Amino acid sequence: MKNTVVVGAQFGDEGKAKITDLLAHQADFIIRYQGGSNAGHTVVVNDKKYKFHLIPSGILYPNKTCFMGAGVVICPEDFKKEVDEIISQGVSFDQIRKSLRISPLAHITMPYHRAIDGWCEADLGEKKIGTTKKGIGPTYTDKYNRCGIRVEDLFDENLLSDKLDIILPMKNKELQYVYGLKTYTKEEILKICKEYKEIFTPYVCFNWQEIIADAKKNKTVLFEGAQGVMLDIDYGTYPYVTSSNPVAGGAAVGGSMGPLAIQEVIGVFKAYTTRVGEGPFITELNDETGKAIQQIGIEYGVTTGRARRCGWFDAVFAKYSVLVGGLSAAAITKLDVFDSFDEIKLCTGYKNKKTCEIIKQYPTKVATHYNYEPVYERFKGWKTDISQIKKYEDLPEAAKVYLNKLEEILEIPIKIISVGPNRDQTIFK
């Protein structure tokens, strides 16, 4: 296997965790490069579900190194809860401690970040962004405002004390006068940070430069992202986006290896489109077909439990994802959801509702999306169960026609096709 980045190519929730899990079997070193506990990934092994939010899903394999990079923001309470849940499902603490490494450069989500996030969403009312209220945006805000707390700060009490003397007066003014929220004494924050230090001690990797240098020379590396290209802070449906860069370029920065380490970028697409939260969604189906996709696909968010909005595959923004996401190959998931459908639609253009002009290039001005309606090509359904098929050649002809059209539009090869949640329900093309 080449050094590979797995990128969500839609609005997140495309089934990246399963693809990452499959590829992690061939990798030595798995890096989570951005995002925080606002992400949710589900891996199914022998009909047993494992839910991940922060920890790379490669942790299920022994003798792998799983690294949480500098681009990740970590809520210690969520991290501890996730470790405890994985242990309760049969993964030993010794295996986790042996495999998992955390970059000392990763930023920490503090309690006040969550408080600010929740306040902002509530204050926006009907104009809310649709965040998970996990404090991710405020954590990244402090990171780029150069007043964040990093994992390494927890392990130097004098440095942390000096840092808080600078940070805390500013943060308390913000909390009190902007948001009307609880303020913190230095003693309170030091106590919280002491607890966080205990949580991270088994995993923090102060010799990360040595480990990364060795991995670049001698290991097969898998970069694992969260969210998707259309939620990227720069290229997504701004402002209805996340606060980091899920695109492959984000892996080069947040994964601590630089761009030359990346040899393959696999974009994960569902056979249809889903979105959680607010924002435009041109192919959204607010009808019985949309409900059917939601029910058959079990489309509910791993992190929030919110029902996902469902619609047909949007090839307009999918092609845009290939461009800005840096994709060199594709994986198509949940193709089996269409097993009972008579007809499948594929959006290949947008029609302006007023002028009737049809465009095929993705419009980045999100406010204009409500002026468009989808232009569809129709495909015949295959009306048979494909969930146990192991070879591409054995797929129904109608399924091949649909996949071939996707490949033609995306202009990259489809290398992986998922026909069910389990590891063995996968076709390698």
Per-residue burial over 46-74, b = 16 or more CB atoms within 10 Å of its CB, e = otherwise:
eeeebbbbbbbbbbbeeebbbbbbbbbbb
Name residue, tokens 């990360």.
208
DSSP-based three-state secondary structure for 378: strand
Q: Among the options 13, 21, 78, 314, which is catalytic?
A: 13
Phi, psi of 399 (to 5 degrees): -70, -40
How many angstroms separate the CA atoms of 225 and 250, rounded? 8
Name residue, tokens 């996340």.
242
Collect all residues with Cβ–Cβ distance below 8 Å to 10 and sequence separation of at least 6: 228, 229, 230, 269, 270, 273, 274, 275, 314, 317, 318, 321
Name residue, tokens 């994986």.
331
**Residue 84 among the catalytic residues:** no
Q: Among the options 21, 41, 142, 232, which is catalytic?
A: 41
Name residue, tokens 């808080």.
164
Structural tokens at position 293: 């996709």
Phi, psi of 180 (to 5 degrees): 65, 35
CB hemisphere CA count around 123 (13 angstroms): 9
How many angstroms separate the CA atoms of 46 and 87, rounded? 17
Collect all residues with Cβ–Cβ distance below 8 Å to 288 and sequence separation of at least 6: none
Q: What amino acid is encoded at 51 in this protein?
A: K
The residues facing 44 across adjacent strands are 49, 422
**Residue 13 among the catalytic residues:** yes
DSSP-based three-state secondary structure for 135: coil
CA-nearest of 131, 137, 12 to 73 is 137
How many other β-carbons are positioned within 10 Å of the β-carbon of residue 5? 30
Instruction: Look at the chain and count its residues.
Output: 429
Q: How far is CA 310 from CA 208, 302, 307, 364, 371, in A?
A: 41, 16, 9, 21, 19
How many angstroms separate the CA atoms of 29 and 405, rounded? 34
How many angstroms separate the CA atoms of 209 and 215, rounded? 10
Which spans in 201-341 are helix H?
Answer: 208-218, 248-254, 288-296, 315-325
Could you give the residue numbers annotated as active site?
Answer: 13, 41
